[in-house]
Amino acid sequence: MHDPLNYRQEINRKFIHLASSCIPFMLWYFGKDVFLPWAIACAIILPILDYGRRHNIFLRYVYTKLFTGFTRPIEKSILSGASWVIIGSAITIYIFNEKSAIIGLLVLSIADSAAAIIGIKIGKTKLFSKSLEGSAAFYITAAIIVFSLSPAVFYINLLAVSAATVVELFSTPRLNDNLLIPIVTALILSIGGVG
């Protein structure tokens, strides 16, 4: 619950976050060999533009006009969540097999959105810097995704869901869950034989 936006702003922000679910779908449709160069290019260009908005008047103007309503206050001085999503996506796609990467990226885009929306709307029980209700929403959503798509044995899937939930719970703006959730999820699934 660091630097919270109001509920309407968070809904708008998470709508964009949900739109990042197009990344695993494009990976599935085009395949790793075709999609990876595009993901890497975006993971280089977007953070450069994101960083540049702090130093270039034109980029700052464009960013302010288009994204101020979605940006948390702390993101004015660090990379935005969108940059971390594309960096985490590119790293996950590069390192892991398609199946594990797709599942990890779906957990990021869908479960992380559910956690924020539920946590802000009905979260009452503080759990570290988040809410118990938001973390429960993340866990349940991640479990549905992982257990529906992963052929791994039960305990591997359970470990992947639990680890992703812990990452989301303890993330900070500087130790960004958009980077770590897909990597941790895909790592555990890959080790568990998903491929």
Task: Please give the mean pLDDT across all residues of the chain.
Answer: 91
Residue 108 makes CB contacts below 8 A (sequence gap 6+) with 20, 85, 88, 89, 177, 178, 181, 182, 185
Q: Is 59 among the domain residues?
A: yes
Point out the least confidently predicted range of 33-37, 51-55, 88-92: 51-55
Alpha carbon distances (Å) from 25 to 20, 29, 36, 130: 9, 6, 13, 29
Whether the pLDDT of residue 8 is over 90: the answer is no
- Mean pLDDT over 84-112 rounds to 97
Q: Is 1 among the domain residues?
A: no
Q: In sequence order, what E strands does the chain have?
A: 126-127, 130-131
Q: Is 157 among the domain residues?
A: yes
Q: Is 37 among the domain residues?
A: yes
- Mean pLDDT over 19-34 rounds to 97
Q: Report the pLDDT value the prediction gives residue 173, as an integer from 0 to 100.
A: 76
- Mean pLDDT over 47-62 rounds to 91
Look at the chain and report how many structural domains it folds into.
Answer: 1
Q: Residue 148: which pLDDT band, with cuts at 50, 70 and 90?
A: very high
What's the pTM? 0.90
Q: Is 88 among the domain residues?
A: yes
Residue 148 lies in domain: 7-191
Q: Report the pLDDT value the prediction gives residue 10, as an integer from 0 to 100.
A: 75
Q: Write the pLDDT tens digit of every residue in 174-193.
A: 789 999 999 999 999 999 99
- Assess contact for 129 and 102: CB atoms under 8 A: no
Whether the pLDDT of residue 1 is over 50: the answer is no
% of the chain exceeding 70 in pLDDT: 97
Q: Is 2 among the domain residues?
A: no
